[in-house]
Amino acid sequence: MTQLTDTHNNESDGLQTLFKNLPGMAYRCLNLPHWPMSFVSEGCEALCGYSSQELEGQSILWGDFTHRHDVAEVDRQVSEAASFDQPFEVEYRIVPRTGPHKWVWERGRVVDRLKDGTAIIEGFITDITSLRHAERMVNEQREQLAHVERLNTLGEMTAAIAHELNQPLTAISMYSKSARLLAQQGQYEKLLEVMDKVAQQSHRAGAVIERMQAMSYQTSHQQDQVNPTQLLRDIKVLAEIEAQVRHFTIDLKVPQHLPLISCDPIQIQQVILNLLRNGMQAMQTNQCASGSAIELRATLKQQQIWITVTDQGTGIKEDMADTLFLAFASNKHTGKAAGMGLGLTIGKAIIEAHGGRLNYRNLAHDGGDGAEFFFNLAIASKAHT
Amino acid sequence: MNQSVFIVDDDPAVRDAVGLWLDCHGYHTLCFEDAMQFIQQVTPTLSGCIIADIRMPGMDGLELQAKLNQMGCQLPLIFITGHGTVPMAVEAMRNGALDYLRKPVKEQQLLLKVKDAFAIDQAHSQRRLLALTHQTQLNSLTNRERQVANLVVDGLANKVIAFELGISQRTVEVHRASVMSKLRVRTLPQLVKSYLKVT
């Protein structure tokens, strides 16, 4: 009936040994929903906990235990490759009969077609869970490092600013106290001189603050023409690392054919990542079920791209609302989530530097809560999509 | 002896303001814009105290302190700093700083500290003066008188001293009386006390 099983019969001994020693499982299946298998090699039991008899007898299908969040994407990629007779490579999760989910890598291609055109696929699937874990660990460490670096920079900056401000403040305070004495002693000429010095030092302190503001807003504003779809896809990949740790998913909704936007992609990425992270933290606080989704959406409205992050978290409490965008106001007070309270402030500054507005609203519909943060970006003037 | 406050700070405004504040309270102040400039003015007869910044270009406050200690300068030192770290404060105090104040400094606190510093400096000066007097008195002793004084302080009786030095007991008594009069003491305990102060 099939090539593989025929060969299997002919050179059974040699192939049998080969299959037994494969670090994974070879298969042959039909490209139908949930991929019914007509042949699976011995490695399948080690991989998914189901025997080759069960899979070949189709009492359970491969797609039945493919992770429910991945099955649609795998199907899309396999079908796309099959329709062009191209080999495909996919990575996704399966839920084995026992134990936690596994990451697998699969490579396959169409070898034949049934009369009705259904593709017959042969391929190989292997466990890459440990590789994925290692990757995730590296990513987490990289994230932590970046966080520490940011904190360091912030710490150094704060120290420098504190020093620069303390000098004029010390002088002002001493001058004022002295002025009082001079007034009491009736030394008015000297007093006037001192008052001028106080004013000078106040201006000096003001200049420090002005310089500091200029520093934080000017930050090498590099405008690029950016494809919003690609930008959001990249962000999704980055944010998924954290989403997986928290057992949430990221639901990306982007309409087709969005025009290019003009922005500094790194800065916008930071803003969106921060919003996603905030949202996920709120969802964790709200004890959302594992697998809950945070939504990242782009829409085109009035020649502007609107980017929205919708979480299912606790929403923004009324008493937080006033200080939400102020530096060092954080509602993540304790534990790992304790925040610097700088994220939204910086985010707002970045978006405003791009000519947009960052805003939010609480979603309190049908008893479901959560919050939605959204901002707008201008589309590039020379829109060539 | 006139006491002065020596202000060492690279920031002209801080220097000026601290100076003005202390001037207003009747202190005599002298300002220096860096540590080297001050070091060059230091003599053993200086009296008063030092107010110094820690962070300064060139020689910083802690280096200034080390240099002064090395020179044997005993002027009390008050540090004022914009953003001192704990290790810096520990080092400063361990090396004998009178205090370590953070900017912006509380004016009253600074006044109190300067007052303390002047009292300490006064005590230093008196002790220096006393030591100097004692030294002069000791220097006025003859060799024989010093020998006798050493043995008296060691607790030996006149008879034993006479035997040790190979002189008559009567001669020992004369030397001993002369030592007492030169060192301006009357009793044996007073002699021992004054003797120990110097050696």
Binary contact (B82, A181; C-beta < 8 A): no
Q: What is the rounded average pLDDT for all residues in chain A?
A: 82
**B139 phi and psi angles, rounded to 5 deg:** -65, -25
DSSP letter for A336, please: G
Instruction: Establish if A158 touches chain B: CB-CB under 8 angstroms.
Output: no
Q: In this structure, how many other beta carbons lie within 10 angstroms of the beta carbon of residue B142?
A: 12
Length of chain B: 199
Confidence of residue A294 (pLDDT cuts 50, 70, 90): very high
Min mean pLDDT across A12-16, A306-310, B127-131, B155-159 is at A12-16
A window 161-190, beta carbon within 8 A of B: 162-163, 166-175, 177-178, 181-182, 185
Binary contact (B14, A197; C-beta < 8 A): no
Q: Which residues of A99-126 are buried (b: 16+ CB within 10 A; e: fewer)?
A: eeebbbbbebbbeeeeeeeebbbbbbbb
> Residue A328 forms beta bridges with which residues?
none
Model pLDDT, residue A340: 45
Confidence of residue A327 (pLDDT cuts 50, 70, 90): low
**C-alpha span between A85 and B195 (Å, rounded):** 110
> Position A240: which residue type?
E
Residue A364 has pLDDT above 50, yes or no: yes
B window 110-139, beta carbon within 8 A of A: none
CB nearest to A170's CB, from B24, B83, B104: B104
* Highest-scoring range by mean pLDDT, A36-50, A150-164, A200-214, A309-323: A36-50
Min mean pLDDT across A47-56, A274-283, A298-307, A317-326 is at A317-326
Residue A337 has pLDDT above 50, yes or no: no
Binary contact (A167, B55; C-beta < 8 A): no
Q: Which comes out higher in pLDDT, residue B129 or A125?
A: A125
Model pLDDT, residue B94: 92
Model pLDDT, residue A35: 92
Binary contact (B13, A168; C-beta < 8 A): yes
Q: Which two tokens stand for residue A252?
A: 């990306």
Instruction: Establish if B107 touches chain A: CB-CB under 8 angstroms.
Output: yes
CB nearest to B107's CB, from A163, A177, A201: A177
Residue A335 has pLDDT above 60, yes or no: no
Model pLDDT, residue A384: 44
Cβ-Cβ contacts under 8 Å, B20 against chain A: 174-175, 178, 194
H or E stretch including A29? strand A25-30
Model pLDDT, residue A148: 65
Model pLDDT, residue B148: 92
Model pLDDT, residue A282: 85
CA distance A269 to chain B (A): 35
Q: In this structure, how many other beta carbons lie within 10 angstroms of the beta carbon of residue B183?
A: 20
Nearest CA to A254 among A299, A293, A295? A299
Instruction: Establish if B42 touches chain A: CB-CB under 8 angstroms.
Output: no
Model pLDDT, residue A250: 92
Q: Which comes out higher in pLDDT, residue A314 or A359?
A: A359
CA distance B29 to chain A (A): 15
Residue A287 has pLDDT above 90, yes or no: no
Between chain A and chain B, how many beta carbons pairs sit less than 8 Å apart? Answer: 65
Residue A341 has pLDDT above 70, yes or no: no
Model pLDDT, residue A221: 54
CA distance B22 to chain A (A): 9
Residues of chain A with pLDDT > 70: what percent? 82
Binary contact (A163, B83; C-beta < 8 A): yes
**B20 phi and psi angles, rounded to 5 deg:** -60, -45
- What average pLDDT does the segment A107-112 reach? 93
Nearest CA to A231 among A330, A354, A372? A354
Residue A293 has pLDDT above 70, yes or no: yes
Task: Encode pLDDT of A260-286 as tens digits.
Answer: 998 888 778 878 888 898 888 888 888
Chain centre to alpha carbon of residue B111: 21
Residue B17 has pLDDT above 50, yes or no: yes
Note if the pTM is more than 0.90: no
> Residue A119 forms beta bridges with which residues?
A113
Cβ-Cβ contacts under 8 Å, B11 against chain A: 167, 171
A window 180-239, beta carbon within 8 A of B: 181-182, 185, 194, 197, 200-201, 204
Task: Encode pLDDT of A197-248 as tens digits.
Answer: 999 899 888 877 776 665 555 444 567 888 999 999 988 887 887 788 788 8
Confidence of residue A173 (pLDDT cuts 50, 70, 90): very high
Model pLDDT, residue A332: 52
CA distance A342 to chain B (A): 23
Model pLDDT, residue A334: 40
Residues of chain B with pLDDT > 90: what percent? 60
- What average pLDDT does the segment B61-72 reach? 93
- What average pLDDT does the segment A10-24 reach? 76
Binary contact (B105, A194; C-beta < 8 A): no
